[in-house]
Structure 1
Amino acid sequence: MAPNCCACCTSFITSTGLTILFFWLTLRTQHPKCFIQSLYIPSLNKTITSTSNHSHNHSNNNTIVFDLKLVNQNKDKGLQYEAINLTFNLFLDVNTMRPLTNVTLDGFYQGHGKTTEKWSSGEIHGGGVNRTVQGSIFFRVEFATRVKYKILFFYTRRHRFSGGANVEVNVSSGEKVDPKGVRLGNVPARLGSDAAPVRQYWVSYSTFFVSLMFLAAFT
């Protein structure tokens, strides 16, 4: 009798554990990733030396052209995006920015594990963009939207999804310097601050481990 009881308990625990694991994997969600794949400002392009009307119009093309890439990391869940609001700012110095333009992209549905790229443009307001900081031109790009996850046949509640990054642009070509996509994440809106949190964490962890070694040596 006892062996049968133990076998039943073991079977019940195993089944319950597998059921919980299944539901956890089914309901677990991952935020998508957002990148600026391409960023181009035609008015900064100095490679066109012709004095034709086409060149004149090109140099006075006061727009920002960009490619936004969105990656759904969920292999078994779809995503419904609401309208995506993007803001573009120009760095005047390491701390100060000037707003340039806002662009809104229509919402859309993205399938399981899919990657979507959205090309768009915006008109620059408030003057030129040939302001250099530390020898380069830097833009601050931020986005904000809400997403719903599609699990089987149902949608979850809306989740806020936002981020930003500092994007360096070539002063002569008007193109983004980094050939890879720049992820719009939790980068501070300050030039030269990317490494600051890393240094801060390194100092904190170093202090922690030194303290542990000190206590271990004298206890």
Structure 2
Amino acid sequence: MADCSSLAVCICCGSFFLGVTVLMPVMLALYASPSSPSFSVNLFDNQAINITRNGDDHSPTNLTIHFHLKVKNENSAIGLHYPDPLKITFSYFPNVSMIVTLAEYTVDSFYQGNGKTKHVIDVVETNGAPTVLDGTDLVAFRVDVVGSFRYKKVGTKRHKVELGCIVGVNYTTSQKLLSGFTGMKKPGLDSQLKPPPNNDYYGAY
């Protein structure tokens, strides 16, 4: 019986150390080379634009934007701190050389556990109405997120978040070109577009 017990102990110990030997490099890799968080956004949950007028015909037409922002911690072995508020900017392109801001939204700083996803679901009212992109029947919305994050490790620095995406909507049917969430990426050539010359630009009334 003693020999059987000793054999069982040896098997258990061997299995334990084998598991540690296999898992340790994986855990170290996950911890030593963490991934950046991923961002995606869903505009207009009802798949339609709802434009309303304020008062008489001389006041700008406003737009209600329903949005759902998802922020996912892609790391299963480390948490993330977002020390600065996340700033979300909603804009559109009236033409290929201009971007016009419609509204801004702020998400307070927060902590995100291993592999967790934060959902921000809300509504913003714009300060004007979007127009179609020149030469098309589409409204080209852009959503940008700016902020920072830090890995939950000793001595880690802040990493800048600067991501955006474009959501196309058919102006005639008020339907999005692609349903569901759109992944946000680092700004491309469109980030070089110039802002409007002043804050009085609302597009067509």
Partner residue in 1 for 2:180 = 180
When residues 174 and 79 of structure 1 are mapped into structure 2, their CA distance, relative to the original with a 3 A threshold, is farther
Using the alignment, how far apart are the partners of 1:21 and 1:114 within structure 2?
Answer: 20
Partner residue in 1 for 2:50 = 42
Q: How many Å apart are 1:120 and its aligned residue?
A: 2.0
Using the alignment, how far apart are the partners of 2:186 and 2:132 within structure 1?
Answer: 24
1 or 2, which has the higher helix percentage? 1
Identical counterparts, % of pairs = 28
Using the alignment, how far apart are the partners of 1:158 and 1:21 within structure 2?
Answer: 25
When residues 189 and 69 of structure 1 are mapped into structure 2, their CA distance, relative to the original with a 3 A threshold, is farther
Among 22, 28, 36, the residue aligned to 1:31: 36
8 Å Cα contact 1:80-1:110 kept in structure 2: yes
8 Å Cα contact 1:166-1:187 kept in structure 2: no
8 Å Cα contact 2:30-2:75 kept in structure 1: no
**What RMSD over aligned residues (CA atoms) do the two structures have, in Å?**
2.8
Q: How many Å apart are 1:89 and its aligned residue?
A: 1.3
Q: Structure 2: where are the runs of 5+ without partners? A: 1-22, 53-60, 192-205
1:129-148 maps to which residues of 2 (within 5 A)? 129-133=130-134, 134-148=136-150
Q: Structure 1: where are the runs of 5+ without partners? A: 1-17, 45-59, 192-219
Q: How many Å apart are 1:23 and its aligned residue?
A: 4.5
1:1-219 maps to which residues of 2 (within 5 A)? 23-39=28-44, 41-43=49-51, 62-81=63-82, 82-125=84-127, 127-133=128-134, 134-151=136-153, 154=154, 156-172=156-172, 174=174, 176-190=176-190
Aligned residues between the structures: 156
TM-score norm. by structure 1 comes to: 0.61
Aligned to 1:92, what secondary structure does the other structure show? strand
TM-score norm. by structure 2 comes to: 0.65
Q: How many Å apart are 1:175 and its aligned residue?
A: 5.1
1 or 2, which has the higher strand percentage? 2
